[in-house]
Amino acid sequence: MKTHSGQADVIVTMIQRLTPRAKVGRLFSRVCKAWRLFGFAIASMTAATAELRASELQVWTGGDRPAFVLPDLNGADIALRSRLGSMVLVHFFATWCEPCRDELPALRRLVARSADAGVTVLAVSVAEVDERVRRFFETMPVNFPILLDRDRAVAKAWEVNTLPTTFVLDRTLKPRLVAEGEFSWNGITAEAMMRALARSQSDPQRPKSSAEGAIGNSGSTTR
């Protein structure tokens, strides 16, 4: 919107210089002002949507969750701890779960538009055979790792009761927000999530759990 407004300013200035008192210039100037207002309104609505979406994430009050190392679809072990310093979305899903299938493309778009903000997604397939997950992502490529929680040990340790469930972890990898069940990631921004994270940290209700071996400490992994 800034770009459009900036271009309009330049055009108005040029027209006014050429025909400072021409009616057509005044009319165009009004149109451009209206366009600037429209652009401002759209930008405000977009920002408001992002804030609203972020505010719909629940503050996580369940304490720390154990760190994990899980294999990805290529057979490489991925440690959650390797994402230290990023805002991490740990997304538990299954390919048979319909809302999950809707959310995966939305998460892909979120990662694409938040690359500079250090947002990363770790998608954890719960209790599925590798082959099924592999086939599924052949037709739906994503820009984040797909991890295989074959025996649902991590889902159990994280007390996941419904799919999908997404935890939003701060840069120290502490869970701060959660979406249990389907959630619309469309329109949400890294900045809005950062502000929601900051608000969650100032929540006086938040328990100060910090079990040994949990994320944020130097404990062991579950695998």
Partner 1 sequence: MTIDRRSFVKAGVAASLAAGLARTARAEAGYAPRPGAWRTFRMRTLVEIARPEGKVQAWVPLPAVNEVDWARVIANEWTTGAKASRLRDPKYGAEMLHVEWADGDPNPAVEIISTVAVRDRYVDLGRPGAAAPLSEADRTLYTGATALVPTDGIVKQTSDSITASAKTDLEKARAIYEWIVDNTFRDPKTRGCGIGDIAAMLKSNNLGGKCADLNALYVGLARAAGLPARDVYGIRVGASKFGYKSLGANSETVTKAQHCRAEVYLTGYGWLPVDPADVRKVVLEEPPANLALLNPKVISARRGLFGSWEGNWIAYNFAHDIGLPGAKGPVVDFLMYPQAETAAGRLDSLEPDAFKYVITASELNS
Q: Which residues bind partner 1 (CB under 8 A)?
A: 96, 98, 127, 129-132, 150-151, 160-162, 180-181
User: Please, are residues 159 and 115 in contact by the beta-carbon 8 Å criterion?
Assistant: no
Cα–Cα distance between 190 and 8 in angstroms, integer?
29
Closer to partner 1 at the Cβ: 180 or 191? 180
Closer to partner 1 at the Cβ: 79 or 127? 127
Minimum CB–partner distance for residue 166 and partner 1 (Å): 14
Minimum CB–partner distance for residue 2 and partner 1 (Å): 44
Closer to partner 1 at the Cβ: 9 or 77? 77
Q: What are phi and psi of 213, to 5 degrees?
A: 85, 0
Task: Spell out where the chain has E strands.
Answer: 58-59, 69-71, 77-79, 87-93, 119-126, 146-149, 165-169, 175-180
Closer to partner 1 at the Cβ: 113 or 132? 132
Q: What are phi and psi of 146, to 5 degrees?
A: -105, 115
Closer to partner 1 at the Cβ: 51 or 128? 128
Minimum CB–partner distance for residue 134 and partner 1 (Å): 9
The DSSP element (H or E) to which 99 belongs, if any, is helix 98-113
CA dist 126 to 10, 77, 149, 161, Å? Answer: 55, 16, 5, 11
Minimum CB–partner distance for residue 11 and partner 1 (Å): 55
Minimum CB–partner distance for residue 136 and partner 1 (Å): 11
